[in-house]
Structure 1
């Protein structure tokens, strides 16, 4: 891992600051919730009001706020008693939720960053396969049916080459007589898998065929072809930014974990004792 790379170093410092800020702002909980006192303070009330507004798009009434405060007090009583009984120990749901919260602290750092254009350009070029657009092909087609007669096909082809309108030839079909420049997914979804692949080998401007689709045979004229290309940052800025933040979130989360794990001495079991219970 390139921990010394400048942007990541900045993220690590921000992440450390975020953990420090959270540890200061987070409410103190006495060890094992030893205090018999439960205090619902102004910060709790503000949080309840914000949550209610976000859900119902209006502030709560006094009665509704009283119900929410009662619910918060009930929750705290039951949580404390559950901890006292050790019900939280070994609970995978609770442990998973706490893990998610820790990951969120680091992820939120990357999600808030606004990288310079040069950083996005480097990310685009490094991960070109993620952003390269498929080639696009526009074409006309005449449907010949599932088992076209060779002589009839040659006759139709001669008419097309002589300039006769394509919509007056061939067999009736619900397939479109032509498509504008379209990507592989759109063409294959309409004509069947590998139809796009066959079109790639055809010249532009001349009637060719038969070309086989999922429905039968066709005569095809490719009218335009756009090659696959890598868009510029300006064309797909939001997609590149989203992907860059995703990568930075994963990188920062792992780096933050390594920093935290270094504070512990982790003893791992010798798995040879379970050799007969696991796959080799």
Structure 2
């Protein structure tokens, strides 16, 4: 192709390219204009603008001031009421130790109640709402009014300072302090540790498995003792399985497996149980009397007291360890709460409870 032809072709293509680019720009502007007019884009841009304005021009939010807790004061008058209530209930005056326990309980409940209020544990509580609605309806007839409206009015009137609501909030606060949602699940090692520390609670008693030959006076006659001696001699000469045939019929059976001392006592009496537990395994015993008659006893197995297998008491241990740890968490939580309050007990110098003594000295 000649230089003239290439120049002519470039002259022809130039205007087409320019027009094509113009069309592309118009299409882009149209698409962008439609996108900007979309409501979602408006929402995002407005939100971003407000956020930027709040960050750049709004003053920093001040730190929330700590909750101011009023001191807990147990007055001499309150203590006098406690003493009168104790006498009315028990018919005698309380000792200093008993009064210390009562004062400590009062302090603890007041502290729990106040903290429950700080945490708004009564908010949206169905039991609290029902109680307030009942109180408002008891005050006067209010037909057609919504329960929520009655609850708001009851709070405005101070009806939420109620003994039933107080007790409910105290218990809710105790439950809250005893919980730890982040606590790891209990392991077999935890359960075994508790089992070892409280072995006396779970220790299984000594047990005997034994057979016996029963000699009934109504069958053997008046000379029961000689009949028992003769039967013993024959039994010791036979294999145990064959010797059982020498027994008179016995309603409760001739073999007892894994019987503890209390179970044997319940069946045969205390004297019989004591003598049987003193026997050695493998030999028919001398005649032993019971309320039924005379017995020749063969101890087959004697098991000493022992701890059960973990799996046998797993559910009991889970409940026990859970209760123990909840009690510990509650105690720690109460100790932390005591640090937030100034506590004063008036008119008592004979307090013996450690926590109350410290409170009385503040």
Q: Given the two structures, how large is their TM-score scaled by the length of structure 2?
A: 0.46
Cα 1:88–1:25, aligned 2, differ >3 Å: closer, same or farther?
Answer: closer
Cα 1:109–1:211, aligned 2, differ >3 Å: closer, same or farther?
Answer: farther
User: Hey, what does 2:123 align to over in structure 1?
Assistant: 27
Q: How does 1:70-81 map to 2 (within 5 A)?
A: 74=147, 77=150, 81=154
Cα 1:113–1:100, aligned 2, differ >3 Å: closer, same or farther?
Answer: farther
User: Hey, what does 1:66 align to over in structure 2?
Assistant: none
| Aligned equivalent of 2:168, options 67, 80, 97 | 97
Q: CA deviation at 1:126?
A: 1.8
User: Hey, what does 2:321 align to over in structure 1?
Assistant: 244
d(CA) in 1 for partners of 2:282, 2:165: 65
d(CA) in 1 for partners of 2:348, 2:301: 61
1:181 and 2:258 matched: yes
Name the structure with the higher helix share.
2
SS in 1 for 2:228: helix
Q: Which runs of 5+ in 2 are unaligned?
A: 1-114, 130-142, 351-362
User: Hey, what does 1:169 align to over in structure 2?
Assistant: 247
1:224 and 2:224 matched: no
SS in 2 for 1:223: strand
User: Hey, what does 2:190 align to over in structure 1?
Assistant: 119
Q: CA deviation at 1:244?
A: 1.4
d(CA) in 1 for partners of 2:263, 2:149: 55
Instruction: Return the index of the structure with the highest Cα Rg.
Output: 2
Q: Which runs of 5+ in 1 are unaligned?
A: 1-18, 34-69, 274-280
Q: Given the two structures, how large is their TM-score scaled by the length of structure 1?
A: 0.57
Question: Does the 8 Å contact 2:209/2:301 carry over to 1?
Answer: yes
User: Hey, what does 2:33 align to over in structure 1?
Assistant: none
Q: CA deviation at 1:271?
A: 6.1
User: Hey, what does 1:51 align to over in structure 2?
Assistant: none
1:158 and 2:241 matched: no
Q: Deviations over 1:28-50 (max 9, x none)?
A: 79xxx9xxxxxxxxxxxxxxxxx
d(CA) in 1 for partners of 2:268, 2:182: 41
1:266 and 2:343 matched: yes
Structure 1 stretch 158-167 or stretch 140-149: which is displaced more? Answer: 140-149
Say what the alpha-carbon RMSD is for the aligned residues.
4.3
Q: CA deviation at 1:266?
A: 3.1
d(CA) in 2 for partners of 1:155, 1:75: 90
Q: Deviations over 1:10-30 (max 9, x none)?
A: xxxxxxxxx99x94897379x
Q: Deviations over 1:102-150 (max 9, x none)?
A: 2222344389641344333322222222232222211112334589832
User: Hey, what does 1:256 align to over in structure 2?
Assistant: 333
Cα 1:198–1:240, aligned 2, differ >3 Å: closer, same or farther?
Answer: farther
Question: Does the 8 Å contact 1:136/1:227 carry over to 2?
Answer: yes
Q: CA deviation at 1:213?
A: 4.3
